Amino acid sequence: MPRRRPASYLHTQADLDRAVRTLARRDPRLRDILAVTGMPPLRRRDAGFAGLARIVVGQMLSTASAEAIWERVRNAHDPFHHDTVRRTSALRLRRLGLSRAKAKTLLGIAKEIQAERLDLESLRTRSADDAHSILTNLPGVGPWTADVYLLFCLGHSDAWPAGDVALQSAVQRGLALESRPTTKQMIALAEPWRPLRGAAAHLWWAYYRANRTTPKRAGLQARSRQPA
């Protein structure tokens, strides 16, 4: 059976611009958000093992801490390649700053690639949902990690990191919700934005940043206020 392909990709800023404009035409709420933020910038990272490893390293850490540890891990493995990492030890990875769980996850991913049970390149041609399922079947890779990889590293237009706290906070504020939506609620809220949920994520992150930099901003008219 042929693989299902994602509806579109966000490879360039022009791709994102078109997707955001499409969403704004479809959903007046997003049109209001876009009026506040302006067109959001495209966020991209390198794909492959290095891209996924960097996301794993940065889980649950501040940007500064994540970058410092990532630099140590990357510099300790020359070249930074799944086979180089596979041949290191969990103890060495922990000495570089990784938690026990993250060290185990990195080694597990490297071994899966080496054994040819995981082909990260093939995820480019699968739907976001299929690729998400493949990644989350890896021990230690949760939904947030999978979706961030699909969105930032592969440019999948429909990846939606529903567990991202910044996105949740932005949606709460922008949609005037009484409380921050749960991951399950975020999935339901984003259904109208398929197959461009990745573009919607970029827009909501921009809204979050806009409200962080201008906390007294009026925001959307006739809606309650709050803050990725």
* Domain boundary residue, one of 105, 121, 153: 153
Clarify whether residues 147 and 184 are in a common domain: no
pLDDT digits (tens, 9 = 90+) for 95-147: 999 999 999 999 999 999 999 999 999 998 888 889 999 999 999 999 999 99
Average pLDDT score over residue span 41-66: 92
**Model confidence band, residue 214 (pLDDT cutoffs 50, 70, 90):** low
Same domain assignment for residues 200 and 132: no
CATH code for position 126: 1.10.340.30
CB 152 within 8 A of CB 44: yes
Backbone φ and ψ of 221, nearest 5°: -65, 140
**Same domain assignment for residues 78 and 121:** yes
The torsion of the CA quartet 85, 127, 186, 191, rounded to 10 degrees, works out to 170
Out of 120, 153, 186, a domain closes at 153
| Residue 218 placed within a domain | no
Task: Determine, yes or no, domain membership for 201.
Answer: yes
Domain CATH for 201:
1.10.1670.40
Q: Both 132 and 188 in a single domain?
A: no
Mean pLDDT of 23-33: 97
Q: Do 63 and 144 belong to one domain? A: yes
Q: Which helix (H) or strand (E) holds 28?
A: helix 28-37
The DSSP string of 97-162 is T--HHHHHHHHHHHHHHHTTS--GGGGGGS-HHHHHHHHHTSTT--HHHHHHIIIIIS-BTT---T
The answer to whether the CB of 108 falls within 8 A of the CB of 138 is: yes
Q: How confident is the model at residue 213 (pLDDT cuts 50, 70, 90)?
A: low
Range of the domain at 22: 13-43+159-213
Residue 6 lies inside a defined structural domain of this protein: no
Residue 52 and residue 148 in one domain? yes
> Cα 120 from chain centroid?
16
Number of separate domains in the chain: 2
Shortest CA distance to 172 belongs to which of 224, 211, 213? 224
Is 146 contained in some domain? yes
The mean predicted confidence, pLDDT, of the chain is 89
Q: 147 and 165 in one domain?
A: no
